[in-house]
Amino acid sequence: MLSLLLVANTGAYAEVENGGFETWSNSAPSGWTTIDTGIAVNENKDIVKLGASSAAITVNTNSQSSTDLQQLVAVISGQTYAFSTWIYHTEGNVKARLYVDGYQGYSNENLINQWQKVDFNYTASTSKNIAVGLRFYDTAGFDGSEIVYIDDFQPSVNETPDPNACANTEVQFSLTTDNYGYETNWSIKDSNSVEIVHGSNLSNNTSYEENLCLVDGEYSFTINDTYGDGICCTYGNGSYDISISGKSLISGGTFTNSETKTFVIGNDSGGGSGGEPSAYYEAAIGKSGYVLKAALHNIIKAHTVKGYSALWTFYESHSLDNYYEKDGSILDIYSENPSGSESYVYTKVTNQCGNYSAEGGCYNREHSFPKSWFGGKIEPMNSDVHHIFATDGFVNSKRSGYPYGEVATASFTSTNNSKLGTATTTLGYSGTVFEPIDEFKGDLARAHLYMAVRYEDVISTWTNNSVYGAAILDGSSEQVFKPWVITMLLRWHKNDPVSQKEIDRNEAGFTHQGNRNPFIDHPEFVDQIWSN
């Protein structure tokens, strides 16, 4: 389906005559010539990128030999030109390919009902006239006629990308498919249920990224999986994310047949089913007890699984000592001495474990809620950054799968006075426990309470996974922990309040995987749920 528009060479270098389609004569764009019958070109004043009008290209053929829309421009040897045009798809069954002295990149036909920019930087090897333009390709579902709008076809010397090209809000969408990408489809609709963009016919284990230009308002994102196992984490590690300037609004990947989340674009939004804490917890307002706990679970349950190895990268930027010695070393909760110097420090990346035979050998990834308690290396628990901390490898091995507690007689003491030993008689538990120093007790208590909320839907089944897990879990999805554990965690939470270190880490965790620890944002939620 080829159609060719040819612009006369006016003698100007790399200038397109009537590139904005503002001038029309006898129902044809001035300076352009249609040289085949594959398309019809009409003036449009309703769907416009810049100025008062655009070109409505009606594609009427599926013959690939009749689909070129081109023009001639003069270029000078050695000059670099940034050629670009804006394209607006209406049905998604035709795509456009940029032509700059040869075929270059494609438009994304799945981005419908919005403008997208297609561009290519071209360096002229000699001074000459070159053809630039577009070729249209039909895709699956093409019904023989489809309209594509074009506006602002602009080459210029040494043009740099315009950061303000999106007149509204530029939103970043990313999607990684699992092993069965063809099972997945998705769409974004506005508050009037008008579809803005959709995606389907996806490849397996493939990452897709698009920039969307959205006006202020509320939107809904829906993702479907025909098999009913979501896109993570049984058959691959698929995920999706919608963000603005690196701050995630919504994200996920773990669902069954379908999942819908809302997000808001605008100054008052702060996100929707995600985003800044004020809007993030809107669904929990006015609730208390286990009803509040269930509401929080629904808010934080669908985080993006980044994988166990991604924790190293997270630690590299977000587990550094910027609070005590402020030396940028790894902040190891089992060696950090808040009131003095440490016996050893770890350099990020360089000192990752590795082998160790004593303290100071290397740092690794400590599941504060041990993985044996939830059944092993199972996602998303195994890589959930909100409960996995950077710690000395040797001390981590000493802690093993023992519960946290308060020690009466220590069999091992780390260099910062963390202890392993027999529990105090007042604790209500007589086994072996590991006691961190007071500085980090609140951090670890809030991590445990996070796990009780985030995994409320499955945690009641974990009591038989480990003898030590059974010592702390009560087999319920509501209280979750045995009374002695709840009493201790609430005491640790109260005596070691939320610190700036935790606030910063929580924000980084949200950016990393798309959910938050509610007990860092709202410490009062702890008593509102478990005070009785």
Average pLDDT over residues 493-520: 92
Of 143-152, 202-211, 302-311, 401-410, give the range with the top mean pLDDT: 401-410
pLDDT of 182 reads 94
- The residue type of 411 is S
pLDDT at 4: 31
State the pLDDT at residue 271.
35
CATH topology of domain 169-280: Immunoglobulin-like (2.60.40)
Q: Averaged over 426-450, what is the pLDDT?
A: 96
- The C-alpha atoms of residue 472 and residue 480 are separated, in whole angstroms, by 9
Q: What percent of the chain has pLDDT over 70?
A: 90
Contacts of 26 (CB under 8 A, 6+ apart): none
The answer to whether 181 and 206 have CB atoms below 8 angstroms apart is yes
Omega within 30 of 0 (cis) for the link into 380: yes
Same fold, 24-151 and 169-280: no
Higher pLDDT, 247 or 519: 519
Q: Which residue has the higher pLDDT, 152 or 488?
A: 488
Largest Cα–Cα distance in the chain? Answer: 95
Mean per-residue pLDDT of the chain: 86
Find residue 473's DSSP bridge partners: 481
46-55, 300-309, 404-413 — which one is most confidently predicted on average? 404-413
Angle between helices 310-318 and 500-513 (to 10 degrees): 140
81-96 mean pLDDT: 88
Tokens of 306: 């980044």
CA 340 – CA 325 distance, rounded (Å): 9
Q: What is the pLDDT of residues 159-170, one digit of tens each?
A: 344 444 566 788
pLDDT for 276? 47
Confidence of residue 366 (pLDDT cuts 50, 70, 90): very high
Question: Does pLDDT of 158 surpass 70?
Answer: no
Report the alpha-carbon distance of residue 217 to residue 171 in Å, rounded.
13
Reported as a single tens digit per residue, the pLDDT across 166-185 is 667 888 898 999 999 999 99
Average pLDDT over residues 197-216: 87
Q: Is the domain 24-151 a CATH 3.10.180.10 member?
A: no
Q: Higher pLDDT residue, 263 or 88?
A: 88
Answer with the residue of higher pLDDT: 257 or 417: 417
Residue 260 has pLDDT above 80, yes or no: yes
Q: Where are the domains of the chain?
A: 24-151, 169-280, 310-530
Q: Is the pLDDT of residue 122 over 60?
A: yes
- pLDDT attached to residue 67: 61
Q: How far apart are CA 168 and CA 517, in angstroms?
A: 31
pLDDT at 1 over 60: no
Position 161 scores a pLDDT of: 42
**pLDDT at site 65:** 57
Least reliable range by pLDDT among 8-12, 93-97, 486-490: 8-12
